[in-house]
Structure 1
Amino acid sequence: MNRAGRTLLMGCLLLISPLSSLAGGNSLLIPATSRCVLDTPAEAREQALAQCRAFAEGGDAEAQYELGEYFYEGQLHPQDLPQALHWYEQASLQGHAGAQLRLGMLFWHGEGVPASNLQAYIVLKMAAVNGSDDAMDSADEVAEQMSRDELARANRVLGEIFRNYLMELQATDLGPPFAPLR
């Protein structure tokens, strides 16, 4: 399936609302999702970093991702992979597709963590489910490097994650996961 087909399929499966609907239908006014402005002059950076950390520590997935990027990129600050991994993991646990994509790539290439195709594949597939086309393509590339046994293990883990998710949905007041929406 090509990238456009996967995008359409994922959008239909996840019932993702387009960003333009958040901007009152004007596709030129897509709202900013940034919580952190870290590319400030050096004298203001500590304050900006403290504010971003406060958002991130308060559970803001976008701020967590942006801190991960800040520590990973190392343009305004020396690269700090342990900090980057920490913030990517925090955002990933909340389903942030960008953080999951970056985390999957770190596992694939062994940056700051031991290289693991198995972990990379699982995290990249989760990022793909959360809307990252790049993650879908990267997961396909990782799969080409995996043995049948590794793929089977990874798919068992993904199946378990999905089963747990469906059980959580059933426990909510929304009813069974495949019932029509009210």
Structure 2
Amino acid sequence: MTRTGRSLAIGCLLLLTPLVGHAGGNSLLIPATSRCALNTAPETMSEALRACEQAASEGDLQAAYELGDFYYSGRLAPRDLDKALHWFERASLKGHALAQHRLGVMFFRGEGVPANNVQAYVVLKMSAVNGEEEALDTADRVSSQMGREELEIATQVLGQIFRDYLMDMQTAEGREPFRR
């Protein structure tokens, strides 16, 4: 998939996929505790990476975030933005707040994808909803770079995401959407 295609695909997924994880009965909050031992000695790094990738592939959102961070930072291995993007996207689409924040920054800066302020703003706002306070400040920085039309588009996308979320919540509770 091209980077432009990936950018468009994640935008579509934001509209179609609930960006919420499930933790403690509150579907907007994601617990964040370390899963992978990626700060290990070089001789055990490949084993640690394999174990972390296995966990992330089986749906462990924190492991996916940690892999994204590992490849993004470039501290213990060469920086690989494609791999970082892959793992941040996986965790982001399931509501991992830190992964959403990192992904939003990548869209804003054009790191591994074409810069896209609308996409960055939407992902950062979802990160803030999911509990990442710093994402609000980052979203404000992004919005200061956006024109009126871009802000309107982002607001419409966020509105649709929240309408879908509310409908899902009410349907899950056995009520008709938007009825008491």
TM-score between both structures, scaled by the size of structure 1? 0.78
Kept in 2: contact 1:127–1:135 (CA 8 A): yes
5+ long unaligned stretches in structure 1: 1-13, 20-31
Deviations 1:34-68 (CA, angstroms, capped at 9, x unpaired): 11011111111111111101110000100000000
Match of 2:120 in 1: 120
Moved over 3 A (4+): 14-17, 173-180
| Structure 1 residue 166 displacement after superposition | 1.3
Deviations 1:103-129 (CA, angstroms, capped at 9, x unpaired): 000010111110111111010000011
| Structure 1 residue 171 displacement after superposition | 2.0
Counterpart amino acid of residue 96 in structure 1 = H
| Structure 1 residue 173 displacement after superposition | 3.4
- Aligned partners of 1:15, 1:60: CA distance in 2, in Å? 16
Kept in 2: contact 1:39–1:76 (CA 8 A): yes
Kept in 1: contact 2:28–2:129 (CA 8 A): no
Match of 1:49 in 2: 49
- Aligned partners of 1:54, 1:177: CA distance in 2, in Å? 38
Kept in 2: contact 1:97–1:128 (CA 8 A): yes
Match of 2:58 in 1: 58
Match of 1:151 in 2: 151
Deviations 1:80-102 (CA, angstroms, capped at 9, x unpaired): 11100000000001111100000
| Structure 1 residue 177 displacement after superposition | 7.5
- Aligned partners of 1:135, 1:111: CA distance in 2, in Å? 17
- Aligned partners of 2:70, 2:88: CA distance in 1, in Å? 11
Match of 1:107 in 2: 107
| Structure 1 residue 74 displacement after superposition | 1.0
Kept in 2: contact 1:169–1:176 (CA 8 A): no
What is the alpha-carbon root mean square deviation over aligned residues? 2.2
- Assess, with a 3 A threshold, how the Cα gap between structure 1 residues 15 and 41 changes in structure 2: closer, same or farther: closer
- Aligned partners of 2:105, 2:85: CA distance in 1, in Å? 11
Bigger-Rg structure (1/2):
1
Kept in 2: contact 1:38–1:45 (CA 8 A): yes
- Aligned partners of 1:81, 1:51: CA distance in 2, in Å? 21
Match of 1:132 in 2: 132
5+ long unaligned stretches in structure 2: 1-25
**Corresponding residue SS for 1:79:** coil
Superposition pairs of residues 72-83 of structure 1, within 5 angstroms: 72-83=72-83
- Aligned partners of 1:15, 1:89: CA distance in 2, in Å? 18
| Structure 1 residue 155 displacement after superposition | 0.2
Higher relative contact order (CA 8 A, sep 6+): 2
**Corresponding residue SS for 1:68:** helix
- Aligned partners of 1:50, 1:75: CA distance in 2, in Å? 18
